[in-house]
């Protein structure tokens, strides 16, 4: 068992246990922190697979931008208390059972599939930014441009949805007792 | 490293995300579980990219990240808007479409 395998198992155990922590922790702030730890371990897997650009982008975009947005919204709503009402035991049990059954079904389906490839240890350079940029701007220029339009529309949509409406201030007083 | 290990890890993360989506009542936690499922798919795509020595799937991972960022921006705006109206993010209260 060399350093590569030790790192692989360490990152795998960290990813799965932190993902379980996301689901099981009562406090939403703890869930966000566990999810950030999960993203860091997935970035470690990317580095082990020689996808350095994606590892950096994963840390910057997911752990840096998206999770900070989640944390900001949770702090803004003042949800960092353990007051969340839980679903009934039956529904929780049904969720665990259905997720586990899906896991078993995919495992059973993959048992006979021809998935016997191996990942070579030696470093390849397809994950570097030079090769990815060449591939992106030679073969995938149109999706790149369309994603820019998607970003613009998402930005405008978020601003329009999140804008405080001052025309009907009565609507926000509908259920004041549920705070 | 055999590809099965990465497949099993991705399936485990994906199923944990599904369990969280079905178990929790907080809309923000459900959102985070969807992010977890997207990341499981990303991990599997990168593993196959390494196996077949093909940079195209890493481009797809990049696009998944782009779409996830846009989705989170709009989804969190919707959640903030609903919180401003009903003062809760409990999905059992946000079921007006059922009635």
Burial of A7 (0-12, 13-18, 19+ CB in 10 A): middle
Each residue's pLDDT tens digit, B73-98: 999 998 888 888 888 788 887 777 77
Per-residue pLDDT of chain A in tens (179 residues, 90 and over written 9): 788 889 999 999 999 999 999 998 888 889 999 999 999 999 999 999 888 899 999 999 888 888 888 888 888 887 666 566 666 788 888 889 999 999 999 988 887 777 677 777 777 778 788 888 888 899 999 999 999 999 999 999 988 887 876 655 555 555 555 54
Q: How far apart are CA A16 and CA A11, in angstroms?
A: 9
String of DSSP letters for A50-79: T-HHHHHHIIIIIIIIIHHHHHHHHHHHT-
B-interface mutation test, from A154, A160, A166, most B Cβ less than 10 A away: A154
B61, closest residue in chain A (CA to CA): A54
Contacts of A166 in chain B (CB under 8 A): none
Q: Which residue among A51, A155, A174 sits closest to B73, beta carbon to beta carbon?
A: A155
Could you tell me the domains of chain B?
A: 3-98 (1.10.287.3510)
From the list A38, A73, A132, which residue is nearest B28 (CB)?
Answer: A73
Tell me if B23 and A5 make a contact (CB, 8 A cut-off): no
Provide ipTM, 2 decimals.
0.91
Kindly report, residue by residue over B16-52, the tens digit of the pLDDT.
Answer: 999 999 988 888 899 999 999 999 999 999 999 888 8
Question: Distance between CA atoms of A159 and B97, rounded to whole angstroms?
Answer: 24
Sketch out chain A's domains with CATH numbers: 3-178 (1.20.120.1200)
CA distance A96 to B33: 14
């Amino acid at each position: 068992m060399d350093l590569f395998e030790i790192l692989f198992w360490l990152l795998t155990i960290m990813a799965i246990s932190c993902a379980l922590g996301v689901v099981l922790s009562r406090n939403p702030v703890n869930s966000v922190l566990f999810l950030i730890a999960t993203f860091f371990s997935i970035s470690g897997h990317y580095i082990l697979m020689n996808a350095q650009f994606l590892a950096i982008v994963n840390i910057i975009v997911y752990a840096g931008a998206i999770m900070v947005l989640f944390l900001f919204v949770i702090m803004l709503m003042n949800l960092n208390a353990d007051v969340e009402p839980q679903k009934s035991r039956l529904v929780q049990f049904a969720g665990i059972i259905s997720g586990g059954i899906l896991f078993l079904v995919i495992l059973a389906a993959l048992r006979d599939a021809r998935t016997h490839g191996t990942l070579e240890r030696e470093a390849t350079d397809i994950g570097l930014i030079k090769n990815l940029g060449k591939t992106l701007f030679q073969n995938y220029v149109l999706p790149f441009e369309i994603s820019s339009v998607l970003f613009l529309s998402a930005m405008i949509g978020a601003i329009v949805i999140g804008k405080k409406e001052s025309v009907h201030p009565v609507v926000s007083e509908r259920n004041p007792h549920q705070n | 490293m055999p590809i099965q290990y990465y497949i099993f890890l991705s399936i485990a993360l994906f199923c944990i995300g599904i369990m969280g989506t079905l178990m929790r009542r907080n809309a923000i936690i459900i959102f985070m579980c969807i992010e977890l499922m997207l990341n499981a798919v990303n991990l599997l795509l990168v593993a196959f990219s390494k196996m077949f020595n093909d940079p195209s799937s890493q481009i797809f991972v990049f696009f998944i990240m782009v779409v996830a960022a846009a989705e989170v921006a709009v989804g969190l705006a919707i959640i903030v808007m609903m919180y401003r109206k009903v003062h809760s993010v409990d999905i059992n209260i946000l079921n007006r479409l059922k009635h």
